[in-house]
Amino acid sequence: MKDKDLKYFKDLLSGWLEELLTHADSTVNGLRDSDENLPDPLDRAVFDSERNFTLRIRDRESMLIKKIRKSLQDIEEHVYGICESCGEDIAIERLKARPVTRHCIRCKTQIEAREKLTGT
């Protein structure tokens, strides 16, 4: 990948990471603020389900944050945009749509077909 393209993805991913980290902070603060004693069982139930929902979102976010960090590391090591399975370059258009992808479209299609077969 050209330096110009690497820089483009580095900026893109850094901005995205920063956004997610800022957002993650406010989610944690939101949790702490509402973490009080609720005497009413119904309130308590609503609070619990909201809390679970928030935690699920945070799980997904922290996975994404990990992926972005790995991609940024790949950029530093100049191996970004190379398919993990076949070693071919991943199309720039595909990376622009999914900057954290680690597989070219051909391998990804194969992986998804396999996942569908095994039901995982």
Shortest CB 87 distance to Zn ion, Å: 7
Angle 41-76/3-34 helices, nearest 10 degrees? 160
List 75, 83, 95, 100, residue binding Zn ion (CB under 5 A) = 83
DSSP structure string for 60-81 = HHHHHHHHHHHHHHHHHTT-TT
Shortest CB 75 distance to Zn ion, Å: 19
Shortest CB 84 distance to Zn ion, Å: 7
Look up residue 85 and give its two tokens: 């399975």
If one asks whether residue 104 binds Zn ion (CB under 5 A), the answer comes out as yes
Q: What is the largest CA-CA distance in the chain?
A: 60
If one asks whether residue 95 binds Zn ion (CB under 5 A), the answer comes out as no
If one asks whether residue 109 binds Zn ion (CB under 5 A), the answer comes out as no
Look up residue 50 and give its two tokens: 């909201």
Residues in touch with Zn ion (CB under 5 A):
83, 85-86, 104, 107
